[in-house]
Structure 1
Amino acid sequence: MNGLAARALPALGLAGALLAWEAVVRLGDIPAYTLPAPTLVARTLADNLGSLLGSWWFTVQVTFGALALACLGGVLVASAFALWRPLEAALLPLAVVLQVTPIVAVAPLILIYVDSTTAALLLCAWIVAFFPILSNTVAGLRSADPRLRELFRLYRASPAQRLRLLLVPSALPYFIAGLKISGGLSLIGAVTAEMVAGAAGRETGLASRILEASFRTETPKMFAALTLLVLTGVLIHAGFGLLARRLLGPGQAPGPE
């Protein structure tokens, strides 16, 4: 299969799914409040784009703010773990607890203890995005060639030199793999936390628009907001995939941990 055909197949599959959806709605005479047709969703999105874009921008800010904090915290903690094993043994279980605890269960508590709703949403999205960065970076820092490690010890390299010259280059592919995972998870965390919060008003994201539309049985508007969320997630995934190919070359990034 040539490159053009490989790129065309996903588009053809998506177009076929949308056409089938449109046909089912029209032939089955399904009401819009039950299942709107793709053409109606597109019209609704165009009609409400002005109001939805403000909410979309809020969701994007929370998503990338949480992702930036997860990258900063994950890399710093992973570096400390790599340089001092007892610290990893003491703190890694806490990170695992954060990872395995459902954010839906934690979000109401965070909203109680954190006064700012925006800060609470950031914290919830950070919790979801943090662990993949941490675990993949730790695995990357551990993946350095043992012979090179011994060489650095032989030349009495300082911990900072080992980290900068040996461990960081080894960990970069793993970090990029974790970043691709955490990019989507931070969006999921932001949307989930906002739905749990049930926030309303101007400074709210697309999750609030979906909740408002569901209360009013405006199903086409729900699908329009959901379409923006899906497109955002696809763009995040594609953007980090492009970053991985630019930094590492095609096929060089390892699978997620």
Structure 2
Amino acid sequence: MSSMDQTSVAAAPQEEKVASPGGGIAPSERALRIIVPVVMLVALVGLWEWYTTAYNVPHYILPGPDLVAQSMINDWPVLSQALLVTLKITFAALGIALVGGVLIAILFAQSKWIELALSPYMVILQVTPVVAVAPLILIYAPSTQAALLICAWLVAFFPVFSNTAQGLKSTDHNLLNLFELYGASRWQTLIHLKLPAALPFFLAGLRIAGGLALIAAVVAEFAAGSAGAGSGLAFRILESQYRLNIPRLFAALLLLCGTGVAIYGVTSLLSHLLLRRWHESAIRREN
């Protein structure tokens, strides 16, 4: 064996150690994923504060971050109550959308006749703007809260249904043939094969539906024009606009943004926990 070959053999284990440090994200990369967005946020807030101070911008046009933070603290009893109302509508609509979307998707996968009969109406529900149908829903719903819930459900339902139905249809045909070969019933095939195969699609729909449910709850409240003690953040935004209380308006917007980010973060974490050990979309490559 030549000296060059001996050198290559001796260096091979060292190269393998460098190439696979552990299969996960390096600590430095994890730190950068946190530090870079935080630094960007601090820079934007600092630029915002500098602009409002340097140009003496009136607070009823653009309040500084300090005024927004002060309004968040002073108006927290009102804003927190409104946030709670919005969250109740959001999560109730999301829960109903999850149950209804999955069940109807399963019916579509199990029966071609049901799919042919209901598919056009599923499309109609998706393409009809919720703002256009909100006044009609307000007429027939037993209460304003029920109307808001229906509007939010209409928007959150279709991503769950569509993604789950697509996942059920995307099951590997070779595995389906194997289940048929072993004499599995339709429900056994559904439970042990189709539903696990559709799980990544369902979780993708869940991430989309979570944000859409919050958006729909706010838009529905705008359309309904509900007011009073039981109102959500949408009414508080409108109220702040009419009263030129712009710091409170910004505070309400920040609460909505934070809630949307939190919902997306929780649904993404759930997806990662359920898929990280077996699905290609969550398994990290070692090279």
When normalised by structure 1's length, the TM-score is: 0.95
Q: Paired residue for 2:12? A: none
Picking from 125, 128, 133, the partner of 1:98 is: 125
Q: Hey, what's the Cα distance between the residues in 1 that align with 2:230 and 2:92? A: 15
Moved more, 126-135 or 195-204: 195-204
Q: Paired residue for 1:9? A: 36
- CA displacement, residues 195-238 of structure 1 (integer Å, 9 cap, x when unaligned): 11111111111111111111111111111111111110010001
Give runs of aligned pairs for residues 137-156 of structure 1, distance below 5 A.
Answer: 137-156=164-183
* Matching residue's letter, 1:192: V
Query: What secondary structure, in the 3-state scheme, does the structure 2 residue paired with 1:32 have?
Result: coil
Picking from 207, 227, 238, the partner of 1:180 is: 207
* Matching residue's letter, 1:28: Y
RMSD: 1.4
* Matching residue's letter, 1:32: H
Q: Hey, what's the Cα distance between the residues in 2 that align with 1:206 and 1:173? A: 32
Query: What secondary structure, in the 3-state scheme, does the structure 2 residue paired with 1:2 have?
Result: helix
Q: Hey, what's the Cα distance between the residues in 2 that align with 1:252 and 1:49? A: 44
Question: Percent of pairs identical after alignment?
Answer: 48
* Matching residue's letter, 2:178: L
TM-superposed deviation, 1:99 = 1.1
Q: Paired residue for 1:228? A: 255
Q: Hey, what's the Cα distance between the residues in 1 that align with 2:136 and 2:242? A: 24
TM-superposed deviation, 1:53 = 0.7
* Matching residue's letter, 2:63: P
Does residue 132 (structure 1) correspond to residue 159 (structure 2)? The answer is yes
Q: Paired residue for 1:63? A: 90
Q: Paired residue for 2:72? A: 45
- CA displacement, residues 154-195 of structure 1 (integer Å, 9 cap, x when unaligned): 233222111101101001111011000000000000000001
* Matching residue's letter, 2:121: L
Q: Paired residue for 1:241? A: 268
Q: Is the 8 A contact 1:176 1:253 kept in 2?
A: no
Where do 5+ consecutive residues of structure 2 fail to align?
A: 1-27, 283-287
Q: Paired residue for 1:36? A: 63
Q: Paired residue for 1:158? A: 185
TM-superposed deviation, 1:15 = 1.4
Q: Which has the larger radius of gyration?
A: 2
Does residue 115 (structure 1) correspond to residue 130 (structure 2)? The answer is no
